[in-house]
Amino acid sequence: MSTSEVMVVKVLASDSKQGEKEFQTEVILLGRPHHRNLVNLVGYCGDKGQHMLVYEYMSNLGHCLPSPDKPDVKFGEKL
């Protein structure tokens, strides 16, 4: 990974209903080799109650990601 690559970080909220088992399952499934059109898991953190997943940024999915300058995309619009 070069220093100029753009990454996306998914942080699990502290009040999330997703538990440790679900987080570990997500890491295992996303860590497997998969289709070229799916995001790649670059890394993760599961220490001291912090749960974060780091993905490779895919520019063709940028319109689906929330940002401060636009409202969150509704589920039906993502399909």
Q: How far apart are the first and last CA of the chain?
A: 30
**Which residues neighbour 21 within 8 Å (Cβ) at sequence distance 6 or greater?**
none
d(CA 9, CA 57): 9
pLDDT tens profile 7-33? 888 888 877 777 778 888 888 888 887
pLDDT tens profile 30-46? 888 777 767 788 888 88
Classify burial at 16, counting beta carbons within 10 Å of its beta carbon; exposed 0-12, middle 13-18, buried 19 or more: exposed
Q: What is the dihedral of CA 52, 55, 57, 58, to 10 degrees?
A: -130
The pTM score is: 0.60
How are beta strands 52-56 and 7-11 bridged, if at all? antiparallel
* Domain range summary for the chain, segments of one domain joined by +: 7-56
**Domain 7-56 is in which class?**
alpha beta
